[in-house]
Amino acid sequence: MRIGTFKGNGLYAAMLGLGLIAAGQSATAQSANCDYVVTNQWGSGATAAIRITNTGSSAITGWNVDWQYTANRVTNLWNATLSGSNPYSASNLGWNGTIQPGDTVEFGMQLDANGGSIETPAVTGDVCEGASSSSSSSSSSSSSSESSSSSSSSSSSSSSSNPGAGGRFRVDESGNITQNGDVYPVQCSAWFGLEGQHEPSDAENNADGAPMELYVGNMWWADTGRTIQQTMDEITAQGINTIRLPIAPQTLDATDPQGIGDIRQGGVLKNHASVRQQNARQALEDFIVQADQNGINVIIDIHSCSNYVGWRAGRLDATPPYVDATRENYEFTREGYSCGPVGDPSVTVHAYNEQLWLDDLAEIAGLSAQLGVDNIMAIDIFNEPWDYTWAEWKRLSENAYQAISAVNDDVLIMVEGIGSVTSDDTQIPHGSLDSNPNWGENFYPFANAPLDIPKERLILSPHTYGPSVFVQQQFMDPNQPECQGLEDTEAAEQDCNIVIRPAVLEAGWDEHFGYLRDQGYAMIIGEFGGHANWPADGPPRHREIWDHIQPGIDLEWQDALVDYMIDNDIQGCYWSTNPESEDTGGLYEHSYDPVSNESGWGTWEGFEQEKWNLLQRLWNN
């Protein structure tokens, strides 16, 4: 999918490595500082943490703390057991009950302001020396924990502290993904940025660049205190157990200049210093290790042939012109970059080809052993290969399987579908012409030419999107005959209505990929999602040309897809965790708005609850 950038080190991993002592043992009284810290806030709510630091000379074994608000209320809490309803009490879990001298344990929460301002209450308890509180502007404890986590993650294997440890992934006879023989329900979202973002050509720093940095919601111009650990805590509490992590070939190069340095000092990275990466390769490795420590499996996705070309590539050796070369009101067309040879000396070539790709796949497959982790579930071999015929993509996919399996026999191979037409106008069969597949959605040719990859190692991964990303012909109102066959801008110019007809959509999905789930293939929709209130919350060009459409039509499409996924036992990875995607937004709200608040870029707010409700319905079926 679209756009990319940003990353930070882990926050509290060092604490997770402490010895496990059963909760309920008596604590040493008057031996800790108990701090209440507001880590992020927005108009109607906030996130906060309580940090318990052992200031005594002996270990604390079991803890309980209390606090109370005037107006605020806790709506969600993680890494502790909550009791009471203002006043609140929280006690340790089994794994964080012991606090060694000088160490800190933290648990977090999400708050509703409940009509008041965000409060910082006193924290009391039998371990607390004195009540204290602070706000996110005081970041010394956060920075200290960040540093501790970084050293911990780089020096030891995390599998011993991972409750979901075990790294042999397979597909059973019913098409279920298994981990060490047990069925593993994939509850997944994407977290993008390491595949590269795009800087404007007139940017003051790194003009026309493509920095590789995970979005983490904490920018140098707006220190929110947010960390990767906080986000992992929050999303796992909601049910996420898998992250699809897009990268580019350049992400694997620790010396690539688009992955290094503060943008204000000649580098390219924009995250706050407390969460800034050393380089893109280190960021990738740190994320995998930290995810392992949090019981999160990962899918590594080669998202493009170049961090500069981005999601539009379609093939390993993509060349301009690209599909968005004439896209209105869009400045990141990237016509000056190529992955294949071109005759224009003004075009920068980041050469990529099949052999380089196979080498990268083998290198990714080796990360499990290199990092001492067992949470790399699958390798998504290439994103949205719409510019290949099925015969071409079948051969490449089978070669990818061989390259990966030669290095790591435990991971699964994730293969996406193709498109409906290549860049040279070759038409690809996709069933009925009444429904057009998205990039990566088309597995129709598979029926006559199956992949020669063992079923027990294969995940089929179509991508599909609603009108928030692209208005397809199957969304046209049948009561407007003048709109039949139109799509996107042409349909908007004719004031065409958008109508979500589940029967029409399901017929297309059946032909494009659903029939293979019926045959027992494992299936994860690798990307789906969109703006909940599109077009009102979409990019300005969409707000303008689709202003005759009632907001919420894309959420209606998402609801229809989730119904289909439930009915057909198909899992998926929501795009995306972070909210910086222009076409879709994310699972978090974004302070940024391209019309009313450009200065809010990169600052995350609370959950976008409508999307979480959709996922809970999918997972709890």
Q: Which of the residues are catalytic?
A: 384, 527
Record the tokens describing residue 1, joined without a space.
């999918």
Scanning the structure block, which residue is given the tokens 């089978």? 398
Is the CB of residue 198 less than 8 Å from the CB of residue 251?
no
The 3 state secondary structure assigned to 105-154 is: EEEEEEEECCCCCCCCCCCECCCEEEEEEECCCCCHHHHHHHHHHHHHHH
What is the spatial distance between Cα 436 and Cα 432, in angstroms, rounded to a whole number? 8
Distance CA 432, CA 534 (A): 28
Q: What φ, ψ does residue 155 adopt, rounded to 5°?
A: -110, -10
CA distances from 305 to 17, 196, 215, 275, 318 (A): 38, 11, 21, 27, 7
Give DSSP secondary structure letters for 244-311.
Answer: EEEE-GGGG-TT-GGG-SBGGGTS-B-B-GGG--S-HHHHHHHHHHHHHHTT-EEEEEE--S-TTTGG
Amino acid at 314: G
Residues sharing a CB contact under 8 Å with residue 481, sequence separation 6 or more, in sequence order: none
Match 């400045």 to its residue by tokens: 331
Q: Is 65 in a helix, a strand, or coil?
A: strand
**Which distant-in-sequence residues (6+ apart) come within 8 Å of 188 by Cβ?**
240, 241, 242, 243, 244, 299, 524, 571, 572, 573, 574
Q: Is 417 in contact with 437 (CB distance < 8 Å)?
A: yes
**Which two structure tokens, joined as six digits, stand for 564?**
């289909």
Query: Are 198 and 310 contacting, i.e. CB atoms less than 8 angstroms apart?
Result: yes
- CA 540 – CA 621 distance, rounded (Å): 36
Residue 185's nearest CA partner among 483, 610, 620 is 620
Phi, psi of 559 (to 5 degrees): -65, -40
Q: From CA 186, how far away is CA 459, in angstroms rounded?
A: 12
Minimal CA–CA distance to 8: which of 298, 224, 238, 252?
224
Does the CA dihedral 151-153-154-156 come out positive or negative?
positive
How many other C-beta atoms can be found within 10 angstroms of the C-beta atom of residue 330? Answer: 12
Residue type at 563 in one-letter notation? D
What is the rounded CA–CA span in Å between residue 473 and residue 59? 65
The token pair that represents 428 in the structure block: 């690809």
What's the DSSP call for residue 91? E
Amino acid occupying residue 2: R
- DSSP notation for 434-473: TSPPPTT-B-GGGGTS--SS-GGGEEE--B---TTT---G
Residue type, 493: E
Distance CA 231, CA 10 (A): 10
Nearest residue to 72 via CA among 99, 44, 31: 44
Is residue 153 a contact partner of residue 289, using CB atoms and an 8 Å limit? Answer: yes
